[in-house]
Structure formats: structure tokens, C-alpha cells
Structure 1
């Protein structure tokens, strides 16, 4: 029994360290001119773990490159956009994965951040993969409603781990990001 527990803990620790996000694509809403785009661009460049930002004004998209070997705080990205006076309409995170097993309604720790996978089939992520954040304030309300109906777990409404998440080893009230592929 002890050996099994040790193997499970070692496997979980390996899983937590088996991915690193390198870039993101953020779509902002509420932009009306180049000055709006510039405000978001400047706000994102001031986020400590952001290495660079390139904006696509025509599509209101910001391509963000993260600093190597630094933790990515997803809420800090959203907060920077909101502090500039705008909203996030979409956020896609891209990183390198090494055999990370995912399944629908499963919680996975990636780089110290807990992700709850929604509307996915059981798979193993390897190589470069992109996750789409589908939490409130990261997608339009209509899209959030679609994804929130895909699970019966309470954490989707709050973004905080509830009793439903504890079974996957997530601490009560820890931040949980809901994602799909």
C-alpha cells in the first residue's frame, strides 16, 4: 500500500512538471481604435512573466510570449486587460506537454496551476498543445453557458475548487481554470 501511494505521489509530481506554457493568444473586446489596442499592449507588457506582446489590431488579438521557466498567472493577464478598460473575449494558452493524461471533468495540475478539462475525450497530450480557457470573464457569456452546462461540478461557477474537485486531489477553494482543447 505504501509503495502504491509513493508511486501515485511521484506520478502526480511528474505530471505537474510535465508541461510549460510558452505563449498565448488573447482576444480582447471593447476595442474601437488603435489607441485601445495600444493601451492593452502596454498593460500586457507590464505583466512580470510576459516577454513580448504583438498586437493584431484588425482582429483585436494579442499574441503573447511568456518568459522561459516562469510561472504564468492567468488571472494576472485578465486583470491587465481589465485595468486597461477592456474585457477578455478569449484566451488560448500554448505549451509543450509530455504525456499528460486528460479526460472529461478531470483536474490536472500544470506548472502549479489546476486545470479542469471540459468537453474533451480521454487522451494523452504530447508536444505543442493549445488549451482554451472557458471560465467566466475569459469567454462571452453565451459560450460560458455552453461549457457550464457540460459539467455538473460546482467549481465551474466560481473558479474555486469545491467538494467535487477534492476527489482529484485539489485543495478546497484553490483556483481552478476550466479549459478545453
Structure 2
């Protein structure tokens, strides 16, 4: 009986934590696109992600607007991998996240739906509703910007994207 109670409490706590934030969409800027065939190859690769419900390319800006399925775990590294697998690189990823009363400040971490966000260079505030966050990690920004950031950003695991064996995304608002 105790085992069932522990499972029930764990399930409730997991749901409560995941209910405080949800990825809605992401604007993924891709570098290296030179033609419509490049655009189609990248779009085709991104369509294979099971958490993506819709993709709208903007060829003038080399941006793909990905809309995510509700209550699906979003893996930002898989987005980067799909773009790289198509022969290109992510030069910027801005995710729109729906937060529900989440307190953040500089160098705080927030975990939800299998993701850990480490906030960098943000003032203390409560996040409510949709908020755009920009990824600062390697592979989500140009290499020269990442190199510059490694000198300025002293957040744990910034150089590796790992803290204690856990993937951490460094973000700013």
C-alpha cells in the first residue's frame, strides 16, 4: 500500500512541476542555406521530430518557426541535430515558453518536462504567460559568439552544457 501512495505522490509532483511551463514554439535561424532545395531538406529533417506539430519556413530570414505539440517533451538538442544532419547549422534559437508563476533571477535553474534551463544575465522576476528565451549554448549560436561568451558567462556547465551529468540549457530573456 505504501508503494502505491509513493507512486501517486511522485506522479502528482511530476505533473505539478511540468504544469508550470510548456514550450509553445521556437524560431530557429539556420545558417548555410543557399537555395530552395536546402530549405526543403532542412524542413523535411525537422518534420521527423515527434514533438513538432507545424513548421513555417521564412526563406527571407532563413528562419523556421516550429510549433510544438502540447504536453510533449521538447528536446532542443534534437532540433540542432536535425539541422546539422541536413548539412547546416543553427545560428540562433529563440523559444517561446508559457510559464506559470516561475521565479527566475541571474544564475537560477528551472526544471520542467525533462528540460533544465539556467538563466543568465536576467533580473529577478516572475514569469507568467508566454516569454521568449534565447539559447546561449554551443551549437545554438555562432561559434565566435560562443567563444566570446565563454569568457563572460561564468555559469556552471556553460562550456559543456552539462552540470553533474545533466543537460542544462543556458538561456537569457
TM-score range (shorter-chain normalised) is 0.7 to 0.9
Matched, 1:88 2:90: yes
For residues 112 and 17 of structure 1, the distance between their equivalents in structure 2, rounded to whole angstroms, comes to 12
Paired residue for 2:162? 160
- Structure 2: give runs of 5+ residues left out of the alignment: 1-11
Q: How far did residue 12 of structure 1 move?
A: 9.4
Paired residue for 2:113? 111
- Structure 1: give runs of 5+ residues left out of the alignment: 1-9, 162-171
Bigger shift: 132-141 or 108-117? 108-117
Kept in 2: contact 1:24–1:91 (CA 8 A): yes
Distance 1:149 1:99, change over 3 A: farther
Paired residue for 1:68? 70
Q: How far did residue 146 of structure 1 move?
A: 4.0
Kept in 2: contact 1:29–1:87 (CA 8 A): yes
Kept in 1: contact 2:120–2:155 (CA 8 A): no
Paired residue for 2:44? 42
Instruction: Report the count of equivalent residues.
Output: 162
Kept in 2: contact 1:118–1:150 (CA 8 A): no
For residues 116 and 152 of structure 2, the distance between their equivalents in structure 1, rounded to whole angstroms, comes to 18
Kept in 1: contact 2:26–2:96 (CA 8 A): yes
For residues 126 and 160 of structure 1, the distance between their equivalents in structure 2, rounded to whole angstroms, comes to 27
For residues 153 and 179 of structure 1, the distance between their equivalents in structure 2, rounded to whole angstroms, comes to 11
Paired residue for 2:169? 177
- Using structure 1 for the length normalisation, give the TM-score: 0.83
Moved over 4 A (4+): 10-16
- Give CA deviations for 1:116-145 in whole Å, capped at 9, x if unaligned: 111111111111111111100100123223
